Amino acid sequence: SAQIADLQQKLLDADNGDRAKQRWDSIATILEAKCALKYLLGELVSSKVQESKLQSSLEQSQASCSDVQKMLMEERNHTAEMETAFQNQILVQEQQHQEKVKHSSWK
């Protein structure tokens, strides 16, 4: 029954596609042409509005991405600075330890 329902839906879809094509092909009067043109212009306006919304969303996403990248670079720089400071502290402590070892071995 699922296959039958699927086939029926495919037939309906094909029918609708054929009907739409026949509708456009069968435009015979100026009034029908005006109606078709009005419909197409409405679709064009709708598409342009949607495009504008998508473009705005894309620009906002790009700005947000740029902000996140900037924050990431700042964090990486901060981490590098902290690592350098930590390495310097280790070096100083190693030198101090070596000095203590030298002084304790002389006694």
Per-residue pLDDT at 66 exceeds 90:
yes
Rounded to two decimals, the pTM is 0.52
Give 26-54 pLDDT, tens digit per residue.
777 888 888 888 988 999 999 999 999 99
Q: Is residue 27 within 8 Å of 38, Cβ to Cβ?
A: no
pLDDT band at 22 (very low <50, low <70, confident <90, very high): low
Mean pLDDT confidence for 93-102: 90
Mean pLDDT confidence for 52-65: 96
Q: How far is CA 17 from the centre of its chain?
A: 33
Q: Is residue 43 within 8 Å of 55, Cβ to Cβ?
A: no
Mean pLDDT confidence for 65-76: 97
pLDDT of residue 20: 64
